[in-house]
Amino acid sequence: MVKNLVYFFPHLRSMQNSREGESPAAELALENKPITEYMVGPAPLEGTNFDEDWACYRDDDVIRQQDAIQAVEAEKIPLVGDKEHILALAEEFQSGSPVIQSKIKLLSEKYSNLRRTRGDGNCFFRGFMFSYLEHILDSQDGSEVDRIQSSIVQCKKALQDLGYAEFTFEDFFMLFIEQLQCVFNGHGDSYGHDELLKRSQDPSVSNYVVMFLRFVTTGEIRRRSDFYEPFILGISDSSVDQFCKTAVEPMGAESDQVQIIALSDALGVPIRVVYLDGSTTSLEVNHHDFIPTLQDEKTQSNEGSESKINQSPEPFVTLLYRPGHYDILYAK
């Protein structure tokens, strides 16, 4: 029987229609700033004379203009789109590289559909969010719901052990738990595919779940900093702390393999990433399965059969990666 998720999060409340009264940390996070800035940063200066710094006004004007442009673009591209036939990609690259066209044809042999996500820097987390919740909705896998709720409890504890105040992340955690409840039909407020898509397209829901996943990811990287440091040094000159502040925690920060590994390990969810690019070194469409490290270790310690040790769980989250962007893929 699925455990009562609210037991682990006693303050769970409905946030479906409103985000009024959210914590200051939640507001800060959704302004594309790292949460650690809220926790340890200096207080704002009082009595600042902005007349002495006209550049502030110019910057504000630029920001407002950028926000207006992004708002117009947002109306054209939903946060999560409708399901499309995989060959819609061929139309997109109709005048592009013949190599890409060939790879799309190969892709269509294994995958039937894709679902686009907005290219706003959050596409990996948003694609993961929708794909995972859709899997629970379709499978009604109670054991998986039990398993991930236990992982979420551990993620929450890890953040607290790292010094994060609970109020900085509780709103995001609660909202994800609410969505998990709603796609699992063992709860009275469950909903179907149309409602899942509607909520995933609602910024007041979708962005909160993205921040939940960013918290989970930064907590995992910081908790196992010795493990992740070599990966980080391989792609940047940043320390683990700097990397989390600039490349994980802020909304809009794009994701690479480090974030994928960390999220997969923290939640125990295998992720398949299929790569589509114009490289001529191989005309095949390659993929990589990110299998949770700790899950692998646990499986190998508990299973006596060598054949079972060598078996990896089949990922039920599959994302298509094109340079700088992730969409959702559906296998045939």
Q: Which residues are catalytic?
A: 120, 123, 287, 325
Question: Hey, how many other C-beta atoms are within 10 angstroms of the C-beta on 79?
Answer: 23
Instruction: Check the CA dihedral 290-183-142-146 and report its sign.
Output: positive
One-letter identity of residue 67? D
First vs last C-alpha separation in the chain: 31
Q: What are phi and psi of 328, to 5 degrees?
A: -100, 135
Helix (H, G, I), strand (E, B) or coil at 256: coil
Instruction: Check the CA dihedral 319-322-326-330 and report its sign.
Output: negative
The alpha carbon of residue 128 and the mean position of all alpha carbons in its chain are separated, in whole angstroms, by: 5
One-letter identity of residue 107? L
Helices then strands, each counted (H, E), the chain: 16, 6
